[in-house]
Amino acid sequence: MKLYKPEVEAQRFWNPYTQAMPRADLDRLHVRKLQTVIEYAYARSPMYRKLLDRHKVRPEQIRTMDDFIKRVPFIDKREILDAQAVRPPFGEALAISEDFFHQRFATSGSTGAPLHIPLTYHSAELWGESWVYVYWAAGLRARHSFYFPFNWGIFAAFWSAYMGVRRLGATVVSGGGLDSKARLRQIDQYRPDVMLATPTYALYLGETAREIGMDLAKTSVSHVIVAGEPGGSIPATRQAIEDLWGAKCYELYGIAELGPTNPGCPLQGGVHLCEEWYHALVVDESGHTVPYGEVGEHIVTSYIQDGQPLIKYRTHDLVRWTDQPCGCGTTWLYYPGGVLGRTDHMIIVKGVNVYPSALEALLHRVAGLSEHYELHVDRDAANDFVTVKAEARSEIAEARYGDLGREAEAIFKSVVGVGIDVAVQKPGSLPRYELKAKRFFDHRPAAHRWQLGGRADA
Ligand SMILES: [Zn+2]
């Protein structure tokens, strides 16, 4: 017996009430939720009480969105790490007794100490539900089955994707504890509909499949859902994944500390802010909110983190936000192109802002280049400059590498408006990555990277 009803199955939105709510009503709802979460954090989290006291803000003073934007300070990872260090692992960032924990997570700590993330069952379920928005938008329902090619570690992302599948009522196939070849054999055997992966891993499996003579386009997988790094909203990368798997590719953009904040649009060109559970601002280097249509740092508030509340959290991700309809029918804020880069990966060449994801998208317009490339950024006396190393496709003769490089340089010049050197190399000459690719190499002095001065930080 099926647990869903056909009319529900055909419904366009997972939650028609908020996904189609007029902007003015959504904003009013946000003010109420923001007030609640600020009161909660001030009452229960010593870190937030100290932070707000230091900025001389009392929760009852936040009555409008303008109050929230102007008076509530940003918070950065460093401050949370400091608050956790008072009594590790959670210290003063904690807002609830550990008795209520459902699961503990942590970030990788690759750039310093790991940030600990406690989730109550309530939070874990709602993180999961945020994934359901992208599953539902992609046409996935309870009858489908999802393949998880992950080892089940301390990182939250795939666990929340798993909770989402539970919430949808669909089937899970775990590829934990297996290597890539064994996972491909498992896919052959269990015939899942959906593959969840980073874009890098979705493409990496293509190389593994070739080794064992398997054609991924002929597997049961009809949907690939990517997360963990940009790619799903970059047309050429998405196309490469779709061609490889013979499947549709959708994206979810999430943030380790905050969860799955932005499920992808069904039209695949970008992601929406999940305004059910999150509020966001996009700010410039001085901390001022940029108008819709412009790019800046993504600042997020969670409504669903009762263990460790995060309000106006600096994600260091660059996004373009817009209130213009994308065409899928939702009123939720839209971020065309998904994540455009990291704030510390922002490049300014002769006064022009250049985003790594934009360069990636342009690079893929050159038919003879593969998806493997690296961006190297350095700085002379006055300017950032960028050099791109890109691999040619295997069928391209070495004599044509020079032409391909000039073709890419001409595209950069005409679209971005700046000169960027492109060196074309042999297939297989750049390093391969399994989970996330390292493509951005910054050789600039630290002083020349993006810094958010931030009125509220000052
Ligand atoms: Zn949309």
**Could you report the per-residue pLDDT of 172-218, keeping only the tens digit for each?**
999 999 999 999 999 999 999 999 999 999 999 999 999 999 999 99
The superfamily CATH assigns to domain 347-448 is: ANL, C-terminal domain (3.30.300.30)
Bridge partners of 253, per DSSP, are 262
Beta-carbon contacts of 324 under 8 Å, excluding residues fewer than 6 positions away, are 292, 293, 334
The answer to whether 250 and 280 have CB atoms below 8 angstroms apart is no
User: Angle of helix 199-211 relative to helix 180-190, nearest 10 degrees?
Assistant: 90
Minimal CA–CA distance to 116: which of 105, 108, 124?
Answer: 105
Question: Considering the chain, what percentage of its residues have pLDDT values greater than 70?
Answer: 95
Strands (E), 236-346: 248-255, 259-263, 270-272, 278-283, 295-302, 313-320, 334-336, 339-342
Ligand 1 centre and the CA of 265: distance in Å?
4
Ligand 1 centre and the CA of 350: distance in Å?
34
- Segment 308-320 shows an average pLDDT of 96
- Segment 43-56 shows an average pLDDT of 97
Q: Which residues surround ligand 1, an ion (CB under 5 A)?
A: 265, 326, 328
Give yes or no for residue 433 having a pLDDT over 70.
yes
- Determine the Cα–Cα distance for residues 324 and 185; give it in Å rounded to an integer: 44
Ligand 1 centre and the CA of 271: distance in Å?
7
Q: How confident is the model at residue 59 (pLDDT cuts 50, 70, 90)?
A: very high
Question: Considering the chain, what percentage of its residues have pLDDT values greater than 90?
Answer: 74
Q: How confident is the model at residue 447 (pLDDT cuts 50, 70, 90)?
A: low
Ligand 1 centre and the CA of 163: distance in Å?
23
Assigned token pair, 386: 């960028």
Minimal CA–CA distance to 362: which of 298, 320, 284, 420?
Answer: 420
- Determine the Cα–Cα distance for residues 143 and 134; give it in Å rounded to an integer: 16
Ligand 1 centre and the CA of 260: distance in Å?
16
The answer to whether 412 and 364 have CB atoms below 8 angstroms apart is no
- Determine the Cα–Cα distance for residues 454 and 446; give it in Å rounded to an integer: 18
Question: What pLDDT is attached to residue 343?
Answer: 87
Burial of 197 (0-12, 13-18, 19+ CB in 10 A): buried
Ligand 1 centre and the CA of 371: distance in Å?
26
- Determine the Cα–Cα distance for residues 42 and 66; give it in Å rounded to an integer: 19
Question: What pLDDT is attached to residue 7?
Answer: 74
- Segment 272-296 shows an average pLDDT of 96
Assigned token pair, 366: 């050159």
Beta-carbon contacts of 402 under 8 Å, excluding residues fewer than 6 positions away, are 424
pTM over 0.85: yes
Longest CA pairwise span in the chain (Å): 70
Ligand 1 centre and the CA of 131: distance in Å?
15
Ligand 1 centre and the CA of 148: distance in Å?
25
Q: Which amino acid is at 184?
A: L
Ligand 1 centre and the CA of 146: distance in Å?
23
Domain ranges of the chain: 347-448
Strands (E), 96-247: 101-106, 116-120, 145-148, 171-174, 194-197, 223-226
